[in-house]
Structure formats: structure tokens, C-alpha cells
Amino acid sequence: MKTVWCLLFCDDDDDKPREECGVVGIFGDPEASRLCYLALHALQHRGQEGAGIVAVNNNVLQSVTGVGLVSEVFNESKLDQLPGEMAIGHVRYSTAGSSMLKNVQPFVAGYRFGSIGVAHNGNLVNYRALRAMLEDNGSIFNTSSDTEVVLHLIAISKARPFFLRIVEACEKLEGAYSMVFVTEDKLVAVRDPHGFRPLVMGRRSNGAVVFASETCALDLIEATYEREVYPGEVLVVDKKDGVQSVCLMPHPEPKQCIFEHIYFALPNSVVFGRSVYESRHAFGEILATEAPVDCDVVIAVPDSGVVAALGYAGKAGVPFQQGLIRSHYVGRTFIEPSQKIRDFGVKLKLSPVRGVLEGKRIVVVDDSIVRGTTSSKIVRLIKEAGAKEVHMRIASPPIIGSCYYGVDTPSSEELISNRMSVEEIREFIGCDSLAFLPFESLKKMLGSESPNFCYACFSGKYPVMPREVKVKRVGDFLDDGLNGPMDSIDGGWIQGPRDLNIEKEIDPLYQKSNI
């Protein structure tokens, strides 16, 4: 069974970390669900496995969710089922919870004080402990997602008014969460005290309030960016009081995910108060300065390497050209279990331009290397197109640790930089030279904001202790229903490993926060 899993489900042609999801919330617009739909299109890059919208009409929460892309889940008739001036939406890529319909958010639940819907971006590192506690007290779970825990914690809270129940629930959570909630009359936005995942607020010209994971969603629906939701902040929106910042939970130094700027966010977004485009351009300039090489052409691995490649080319004074053309119409390539056939996966997605590459010394800029399998195929593709030399430049430091805060990364054992030196990786990939963005140079570029970012994937130092380690298992890819042992339907969570010596490497921030 293990061999079949590798052949069928390890999509090494998509050898990138994956963002877990994106969220959006809209209050005060008669077209709330349709605007939500458009905003989710802008956030589609953050999750392609499922999508959903919950709208409120006459104090009733109505939901439409489905597996697939936003355009596959929704159509005109589905959106007609979601009238009202308030809505929340979600696009999903699963890390916690299997890839099945019942785990697609937003979740809606009824409890003694009414109905509530929630959409969550992030990952709770104490999910199993919370779920066990709730089940011991009689809670019944319908999904295998960590987000459902939040609804149960709100339901058992006796705090009044409503927003204090959310605060009380969040005080029990550890890890990453940017969430939007909806009730019969309120929209609530919450961000975890470390601010791992982004969440921004904007406003449309008619006064409608919008929350979203990225500013690109605000731009699409013509909402003006106002500010971030602060780490630890709870914002409540209703007709009576408008937007209220009702709580700022005790929060240590922010630990914002650096990978939002390296890979996840779109270049036209402003994330954590910084332009993603400008960050990536600067990464390329640093590589050109600190790892120069004689070359004729600079190319990018599209699409996420393009801006860094432009920065490299501009600084090096070398032409940037499109040496690889990306097809946007190819899905994941695990249908055919023959490895010989699967090797065509990269060729389906990336086509070399021989006229740009033949006889040239090429610098190839990519955003990251995870397992190294895709990079080796790209180098081979470029050399087969006649390139004289191929030099890889990576616009991030080497990834040596898994993420536990809402990003789907392989186990540490699978991360090539965790088990090989740069020279060994270069030999494995087959390029003529290889250089990563120096970690210290990255922090220097961020300047005074450097301490506000999480670098756990580069350093192995975790701001919040990853007590439970998430891994994908075969059961995660099966259809709805019980397949195999019970733990295969709760995301395949296991106890955190002791051999990583994580306790010894915990960031002093964690020790200060007493979480």
C-alpha cells in the first residue's frame, strides 16, 4: 500500500508548499454573496480543493459549499440561494482534515444562542488535545477539521455578550488562525496573537465592510484597503455600532509567515503592510549581488519566480526572457500510476523556449526548493532544449523544517535541504551552480520589521510548540465515509516527534508567552 500511495498521491510535479486556505467576509452590501464569490476568485491561489459561502438573510444563515474550484462550486442559481447583506466565504486546501465535502468551509452550527458560521485560515497545534477534552465532555464532531473545535468552544462558553464567547474560545487555541464569523446580525473577524496568517480590512464606497486574507481580493471588488486586523484583535461589525475593535488579546511579538512574501500571496497584494512585489524584487536583487554568475539570459520558473527573476536581471544587467512557458490548463498528474508516464508531468506544465535557451548560459530563478524533484526535472528540460549552462538561484533560504501554522509542507525527512548540503543538492538537481537567498540577508532586507516574522521553516525554531504533527495519509484522499481505521478520518494526526529536539530550540518568544 505504501508504494501505491507514493505513485498515486505524491504529486512531485507540484513540489511546492501549499497555503491552507483563504477567507473573506462582507457586511452591509445587498450583493454580499456575489462580492464574496468574486473575492474568492481573487484568493483561489490559496486553495483549490473546495469553496463555500454562507450568507445571512432575515436572520437565517444559508450555506453553499462544494469540492473543486470556485467556478465549479458556484453558478448563478447557487448564488441566487444566498441573498442578504452579510456573507463569509472560504477557499480550501486541506492540511488538517481529509479532502472531503463535509470538511469544506465555512462551517455552520446552531446552538442555544442561535446560529453561527466560521471560515478559518491557519492551523491549530493543540487541536487533538482540545478535541479529546470536548469529546470527554460529550461533544459530537461531524468533521475532521480543526476548525470545528472553535465552534464547540463557543457553544460551551457561558460568557456574555457574544463576542466574549469568541474571545474565551480563542484563549484556548494555540497556533495560527485568521477567522471570520457570522451570526444573525454580526460579522466578527479574529486574528491569533502571533499574527501568523494575514487578514486585512477594507471598505467599499457604499460603506460595506470587507475582510479578506489578501488585499488583491479587496482590489477586485473595489474595496479600499484600510488596515490589517491586528494580531490578537477581535473586530465586531453590526448595524448598531458599525466596526468595533472590542478586544486585543495578550499578544507577544508578531510572528508573521515569511512565506506569504516568498510564495503564497499574489505579487499585487500588500501583506503585513509590505508590497509582495517589492519584497520579491528585492530577493532577486540580493541574489544577483551575493551569488553572481556569468550568464547570457535570466529566466524564471513561472509564475512565482517571475518577480524575483526580474529583480535579479535588473541588478545583474542581464536580459530577462521567458524561457519557460507555463500551461494553466493542466491539473495534478497522479492519474496514471506509471512513474515513466508521470515524468511527463513537468513537460505538460512547463514548455521550454528553445530560441531563448539554446547555446546560452542560463540563470533560472525559482522561489523555493522543497523536495528537489521538480527542480531536477526543470534543469533537465532546459538542458535538453540546448542550454550551455544552467545556474539555479532560489529566492528563499533553504527549507529545513515543516510548518505547523497553516502551510502544508512535507515532513522534515522529505525536505531536501534538511538532509543535503547545497553542493549535494546541486549534484542531485544537475545544475552547474546553485545558490539560495542568504538567511541573514533576508532579515537585513526586512530591517526593523525582521523580528516580526516567523522563520521556523528556515531555522527550526518554533514560536508556538508544535505538539501535534500533521501528516497526510492515504485515507485523506479517499471519498466521504469511513475508510480504514478511525484515525484516518481526522487528518492523520500523530504525537509530535521527540527526535527533533524542538523543545531545545524553541524561540525565547514562546517561553516568554507561557503558552
Residues at the binding site are 257, 304, 366-367, 403, 454, 457
Distance CA(311)–CA(445), nearest Å, equals 14
Q: Cα dihedral angle (449, 451, 453, 458), rounded to 10 degrees?
A: 130
Question: Strands 175-182, 114-124: parallel, antiparallel or unpaired by DSSP?
Answer: antiparallel
Give the CA count within 13 Å in the CB-facing half-sphere of 56.
24
Q: Scanning the structure block, which residue is given the C-alpha cell 491569533?
A: 192
Distance CA(407)–CA(154), nearest Å, equals 25
CA 118 from centre of chain: 18
Distance CA(147)–CA(490), nearest Å, equals 12
Q: Which of 21, 170, 216, 431 is catalytic?
A: 21
- For residue 47 the three cell numbers come to 486553495
Distance CA(406)–CA(19), nearest Å, equals 7
Q: Where are the beta strands (DSSP E) in 45-112?
A: 50-57, 60-67, 86-92, 107-111
Give the CA count within 13 Å in the CB-facing half-sphere of 260.
31
User: What is the residue type of 163?
Assistant: F
Say which DSSP state 350 is in: E
- For residue 213 the three cell numbers come to 486574507
- Distant-in-sequence, close-in-space partners of 504: CB < 8 Å, separation ≥ 6: none
- Distant-in-sequence, close-in-space partners of 360: CB < 8 Å, separation ≥ 6: 295, 296, 297, 387, 388
For the CA atoms of the chain, what is the radius of gyration? Answer: 23
Residues at the binding site for Mg(2+) are 304, 366-367
Question: DSSP string spanning 383-398?
Answer: HHTT-SEEEEEESSPP
Rounded to 5°, the CA angle 210-77-39 comes to 20
Distance CA(446)–CA(443), nearest Å, equals 5
User: What is the residue type of 29?
Assistant: D
Distance CA(286)–CA(395), nearest Å, equals 9
Are the C-beta atoms of residues 117 and 62 closer than 8 Å to each other?
A: no
Residues at the binding site for [4Fe-4S] cluster are 257, 403, 454, 457
Q: Scanning the structure block, which residue is given the C-alpha cell 529566466?
A: 299
- Distant-in-sequence, close-in-space partners of 117: CB < 8 Å, separation ≥ 6: 54, 61, 63, 88, 106, 107, 108, 109, 181, 182, 183
Rounded to 5°, the CA angle 340-344-348 comes to 160
User: What is the residue type of 347?
Assistant: K
- For residue 247, indicate whether it is catalytic: no
Positions marked catalytic? 21
